[in-house]
Amino acid sequence: MKFMLLMPPTVPGTLEDCRRLRPIGRNNERYQQMLDELRKLVVFAEEVGFDVFATTEHQFHSEEGCAVLAAVKTASRPPPAVACGQS
C-alpha cells in the first residue's frame, strides 16, 4: 500500500489579511511563507514514510498551482514522487 499527502497550496493569512493584501497571492512575503511551509511538509512527509506528495492545481487560485512544485521538489533528498493534479 502506498500513502500520499495531498495538499492544496494556500497562501497563509487571516480573512482580514486577505482583504487588506488583496490579492494576497501577489504578496511576496506571504507567497514565500507558503513555499517554506510546503517544503517543511514535504520533508516531514518523507521522514514519516509517505510515498507521494501532491498538490491540487485547481485549488490554488492566487498563482499557477504547479509552479510551487519546483520549489518543494528540491526540499528532500532523494526527492519524493511529485504529482500535479489534473483538471
- Contact partners, residue 48, CB within 8 Å, separation at least 6: none
Domain extent for 12: 4-84
- Contact partners, residue 10, CB within 8 Å, separation at least 6: 34, 59, 60
- Contact partners, residue 27, CB within 8 Å, separation at least 6: 11, 21
Q: Is the pLDDT of residue 47 over 90?
A: yes
The 10s digit of each residue's pLDDT in 9-35 is 888 888 788 778 888 778 889 888 888
Query: What is the count of structural domains for the chain?
Result: 1
Higher pLDDT, 41 or 22: 41
Q: What percent of the chain has pLDDT over 90?
A: 18
Determine the average pLDDT of the residues in 49-54. 90
The gap from C-alpha 17 to its chain's centroid, in whole angstroms, comes to: 19
